[in-house]
Amino acid sequence: MNYIAYRELMETLVSQKKSTGTDQSEIRVNFTALNHQRMKRLDKKGEILDVHQETIKGYKNPMKWVVLAESWCGDAAQILPYINKVAQLNDNIVLDVLLRDENLELMDAHLTNGGRAIPKLIAFDAANNVIAKFGPRPNEATQMVVDFKANHGAVTDELKKDLQVWYTKNKGVNIVENLVQAIFEAVAV
């Protein structure tokens, strides 16, 4: 589905008090509702810095971006709106969003450190060759997780809250920087 269809799906899920996937636990339903609000805010207020816009707009080759995500994923809620904004800046990019749990074969072909971490963007060229990947987090957020796990052994609710605060304060800058590095600079011709 395209990004608009994904956002409409989230809105429907929220109105039905549901989540994507088979796990319809209260926590996943609540995260879906929270993430819908986060994405709504970022769709409206998220911005791409001019320096990145030039690079994005200057890329001339067609690409298809497939992003694996789920409605309950806090990282996807913070990152996917920026991926969409980047894709909108270049007519050569087609963006599709797939639900991870409905596309495990594709997910399993693009694991992160052996795990099904999302969101995961896979960029394909016109011949359907994988040319780049991005995700599941920008490098600063990834380092926060690595450091926290080293000190505490596992991801906790405290870290999840800290990550959401970091995303809000960073305003997508690290997301877009890493996306530009991973996609546009990596495949520049």
- Which residues have C-beta within 8 Å of that of residue 152, sequence separation ≥ 6? 159
In 3D space, the residue among 186, 188, 141, 182 whose CA is nearest the CA of residue 161 turns out to be 141
Number of domains in the chain: 1
- pTM of the full predicted structure? 0.95
Residue 127 — pLDDT band, cuts 50, 70, 90?
A: very high
Interatomic CA distance for residues 36 and 163, integer angstroms: 17
| Phi then psi dihedrals of residue 136, to 5 deg | -85, -15
With CA atoms as reference, report the closest residue to 133 among 61, 67, 189.
67
Q: What is the pLDDT of residues 39-98, one digit of tens each?
A: 999 999 999 999 999 999 999 999 999 999 999 999 999 999 999 999 999 999 999 999
The H-or-E segment that residue 167 falls in is helix 157-170
Lowest-confidence pick of 2-6, 15-19, 119-123, 179-183: 179-183
CATH of residue 9's domain is: 3.40.30.10
Q: Of 173, 185, 161, 189, which Cα lies nearest the Cα of 74?
A: 161
Hey, what are 6's tokens? 């994904």
For residue 169, the enclosing domain spans: 3-185
